[in-house]
């Protein structure tokens, strides 16, 4: 197989070849590094590329394979990490000027778990500064580009993770998701993104945006690959008290393709209001394809879900301001203008408004859990619009003009509030060739059903035959 | 959108929060906060009297073995 083709292998495919010793981790890692070196100057998905370290790690892992010490399906798989996930001895910038030279002394739990599973770190991926924005626009390191249209934003805040996975610059990646930052770039870049349940994956060693809304999740080109990454990093962590002692199932074994009899609820409230016409058509078509697989579709109401928008605003604003206040008092000029202004808004949120939002959260979580007693999962668009141009600040949909950030986060941020797991899977392309994402929302700690549904849908999705122009 | 003044926000920042203000940021602060105030006020519609706030760092209570 030519080096250029190696990077198109899924994690499952490459891992199988590595296990059978028909593919060398060094060969695979070098193929990715060469591709990054040749092409990423334009796409800017990486902030830091670790060529020597990655090749050394791959060589060590190859020796283990030869010695019969196989770690599992991530053994020798090259990945990228969003650059707010701490990595020992490797700078972790958070996409900021303030932390441009910060070199942590420890790995985040998720990083160490992936390394222990045999993953090879190719580099640290670009992001919206301190993860505070859904567009990925970054004034310090350049804005990562969407491989489906170089003038389009990849979405954020995990912009480099989304663009990098879609452009075959890594086999998989980790992102973080506070209001949609895994699922939005997944949707805009035509890849899979999973926000696990709050408490399923450790956040220890991940620089926070808003403690009570932050999640770490896998981003990949297939659902099976997301399952493999989640498998390696899920589970309780003594370093993160928010993680739960909930058993982690074998996700991959659940990917049988059989979904007949599962019940999926369509939530029209909020999620289907004002959609780009191509998004509406693609999501409705996905519903029919799921029906064709034997899934029972039902209408489900979440009549109070509109309250999620102001509640999430108050929580993110207050918590992010609390974290950043020391920097804002002394180094405010080093922030990009948009992130600084958003952070400073947080000091004007009253404590009573913050607590009211956390009380509203209980009500909305109960409403969501009640809906998920009627069905196995909920279905919504991931984003109401496809990828905007990088210079667009407002977009008009069905006659309503609004901020791009509001459009991008509308369908994702309520799920950060309730903490449910949510999976974004590509479900089609717009007439202009931009990806569209389908969001599946599951019961607390039931990522397995989402992966099962997403995997079955992926096999019949019209998207599966397409690749981004920048991948050629 | 609620009527907020830049001067009010500047006073809160400097006097209450102790955060230096760049006047260039204030229009954005006014717009962001102002666009959410109506929604924040409408949270009262949820009848929160008997509801305690979510505890920040703990997992959902629905977790079979959650804390």
Chain B residues touching A347 at Cβ < 8 A: 12-13, 16-17, 19
What's the pLDDT at B1? 59
Write the residue in B12, B20, B54 that is nearest to A362 by C-beta. B54
Q: Which residues lie closer than 8 Å to A221 by C-beta, 6 or more apart?
A: A10, A165, A166, A171, A172, A191, A192
Residues 184-203 of A with CB under 8 A from B: 197-199
Q: For residue B26, give how far its alpha carbon lies from the nearest alpha carbon of chain A (Å).
A: 8
Q: For residue B37, give how far its alpha carbon lies from the nearest alpha carbon of chain A (Å).
A: 8
The single residue listed with the structure tokens 């035959």 is: A465
The helix (run of H) or strand (run of E) holding residue A157 is none
pLDDT band with cut points at 50, 70 and 90 for residue B58: low
Closest by CA position to A288, among listed A379, A376, A224, A368: A379
User: How much of chain A, in percent, has pLDDT values that exceed 90?
Assistant: 96
pLDDT band with cut points at 50, 70 and 90 for residue B56: low
Catalytic one among A24, A96, A112, A157? A157
Residues B23-50: tens digit of each pLDDT: 999 999 999 999 999 999 999 999 999 9
Closest by CA position to A418, among listed A439, A444, A440: A444
What's the pLDDT at B2? 62
Active site residue A82: yes
Whether A363 sits inside 8 A of B48 (CB atoms) is: yes
Residues A37-92: tens digit of each pLDDT: 999 999 999 999 999 999 999 999 999 999 999 999 999 999 999 999 999 999 99
Interface test with B, best of A359, A394, A416 (most B CBs within 10 A): A359
Whether B54 sits inside 8 A of A212 (CB atoms) is: yes
The domain A3-471 belongs to what CATH superfamily? Amidase signature (AS) domain (3.90.1300.10)
Q: Which residues lie closer than 8 Å to A376 by C-beta, 6 or more apart?
A: A262, A263, A264, A442, A443, A449, A453
Residues 347-366 of A with CB under 8 A from B: 347-349, 353, 355-363, 365
Q: Which residues lie closer than 8 Å to A179 by C-beta, 6 or more apart?
A: A134, A213, A312, A316, A409, A412, A413, A416
Within a 13 Å sphere around the CA of A218, how many CA atoms are in the beta-carbon half? 28
Catalytic one among A96, A161, A181, A320? A181
Q: Which residue of B has its CA nearest to A364?
A: B46
Catalytic one among A24, A82, A124, A187? A82
Closest by CA position to A455, among listed A440, A470, A436, A465: A440
Chain B residues touching A349 at Cβ < 8 A: 33
Q: Give A377's strand partners.
A: A264, A442
Chain A residues touching B14 at Cβ < 8 A: none
What's the pLDDT at A420? 97
As a whole number, mean pLDDT of residues A110-131 equals: 98
Tell me the CA distances in angstroms from A357 to A9, A270, A323, one per residue in order: 44, 18, 18
Q: For residue A347, give how far its alpha carbon lies from the nearest alpha carbon of chain B (Å).
A: 7
As a whole number, mean pLDDT of residues A301-317 equals: 97
The helix (run of H) or strand (run of E) holding residue A387 is none
Whether B67 sits inside 8 A of A244 (CB atoms) is: yes
Helix (H, G, I), strand (E, B) or coil at A359: helix
Is the confidence at residue B8, as pLDDT, over 50? yes
pLDDT band with cut points at 50, 70 and 90 for residue A1: confident
Helix (H, G, I), strand (E, B) or coil at A145: coil
Is the confidence at residue A312, as pLDDT, over 90? yes
What's the pLDDT at A12? 98
pLDDT band with cut points at 50, 70 and 90 for residue A3: confident
What's the pLDDT at B64? 41
Q: How far apart are CA A426 and CA A433, in angstroms?
A: 13
Chain B residues touching A363 at Cβ < 8 A: 46, 48, 51
Chain A residues touching B11 at Cβ < 8 A: none
Closest by CA position to A302, among listed A357, A234, A373: A373
Q: Which residue of B has its CA nearest to A311?
A: B40
Whether A310 sits inside 8 A of B39 (CB atoms) is: yes
Whether B59 sits inside 8 A of A419 (CB atoms) is: yes
Write the residue in A199, A355, A357 that is nearest to B59 by C-beta. A199
CA A406, A455, A303, A213 torsion: positive or negative? Answer: negative
Q: How far apart are CA A447 and CA A162, in angstroms?
A: 20
Whether A362 sits inside 8 A of B29 (CB atoms) is: no
Whether A443 has its CB under 8 Å from any CB of chain B: the answer is yes
Residues A410-428: tens digit of each pLDDT: 999 999 999 999 999 999 9
């Amino acid at each position: 197989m030519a080096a250029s083709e190696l990077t198109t292998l899924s994690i499952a495919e490459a891992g199988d070849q590595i296990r059978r010793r028909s593919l060398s981790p060094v060969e695979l890692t070098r193929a990715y590094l060469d591709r990054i070196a040749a092409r990423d100057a334009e796409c800017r998905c990486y902030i830091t590329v670790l060529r020597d370290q990655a090749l050394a790690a791959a060589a060590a892992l190859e020796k283990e394979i030869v010695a019969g010490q196989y770690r599992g399906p991530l053994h020798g798989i090259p990945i990228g990490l969003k650059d707010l996930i701490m990595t020992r001895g490797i700078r972790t910038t958070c996409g900021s000027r303030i932390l441009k030279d910060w070199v942590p002394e420890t790995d985040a739990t998720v990083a160490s778990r992936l390394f222990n599973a045999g993953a090879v770190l190719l580099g640290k991926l670009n992001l919206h500064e301190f993860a505070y924005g859904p567009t990925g626009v970054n004034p310090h390191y350049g804005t990562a580009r969407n491989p489906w249209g170089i003038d389009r934003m990849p979405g954020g805040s995990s912009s480099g993770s989304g663009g990098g996975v879609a452009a075959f610059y890594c086999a998989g990646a980790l992102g973080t998701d506070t209001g949609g930052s895994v699922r939005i770039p997944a949707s805009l870049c035509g890849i899979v993104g999973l926000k696990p349940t709050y408490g399923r994956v450790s956040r220890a060693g991940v620089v926070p945006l808003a403690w009570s809304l932050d999640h770490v999740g896998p981003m990949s080109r297939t659902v099976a690959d997301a399952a493999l990454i989640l498998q390696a990093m899920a589970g309780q962590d003594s370093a993160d008290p928010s993680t739960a002692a909930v058993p982690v199932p074998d996700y991959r074994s659940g990917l049988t393709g059989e979904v007949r009899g599962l019940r999926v609820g369509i939530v029209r409230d909020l999620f289907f209001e004002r959609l780009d016409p191509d998004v509406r058509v693609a999501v409705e078509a996905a519903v029919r394809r799921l029906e064709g697989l034997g899934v029972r579709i039902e209408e489900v109401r979440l009549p109070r879900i509109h309250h999620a928008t102001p509640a999430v605003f108050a929580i993110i604003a207050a918590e992010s301001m609390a974290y950043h206040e020391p920097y804002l008092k002394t180094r405010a000029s080093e922030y990009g203008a948009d992130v600084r202004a958003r952070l400073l808004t947080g000091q004007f949120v009253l404590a009573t408004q913050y607590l009211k939002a956390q009380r509203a959260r209980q009500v909305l979580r109960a409403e969501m859990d009640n809906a998920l007693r009627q069905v196995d999962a909920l279905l919504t668009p991931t984003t109401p619009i496809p990828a905007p141009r990088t210079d667009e600040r407002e977009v008009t949909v069905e006659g309503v003009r609004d901020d791009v950030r509001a459009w991008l986060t509308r369908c994702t941020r309520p799920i950060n509030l309730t903490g449910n797991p949510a999976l974004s899977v590509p479900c089609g392309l717009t007439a202009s060739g931009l990806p569209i994402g389908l969001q599946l929302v599951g019961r607390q700690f039931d990522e397995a059903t989402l992966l099962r549904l997403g995997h079955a849908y992926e096999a019949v999705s019209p998207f599966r035959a397409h690749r981004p122009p920048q991948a050629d | 959108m609620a009527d907020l003044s830049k001067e009010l926000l500047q006073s809160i920042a400097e006097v209450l929060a102790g955060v230096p203000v760049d006047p260039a940021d204030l229009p954005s602060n006014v717009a962001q906060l102002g666009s959410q105030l109506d929604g924040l006020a409408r949270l009262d519609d949820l009848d929160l009297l008997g509801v305690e706030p979510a505890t920040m760092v703990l997992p959902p209570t629905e977790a079979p073995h959650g804390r």
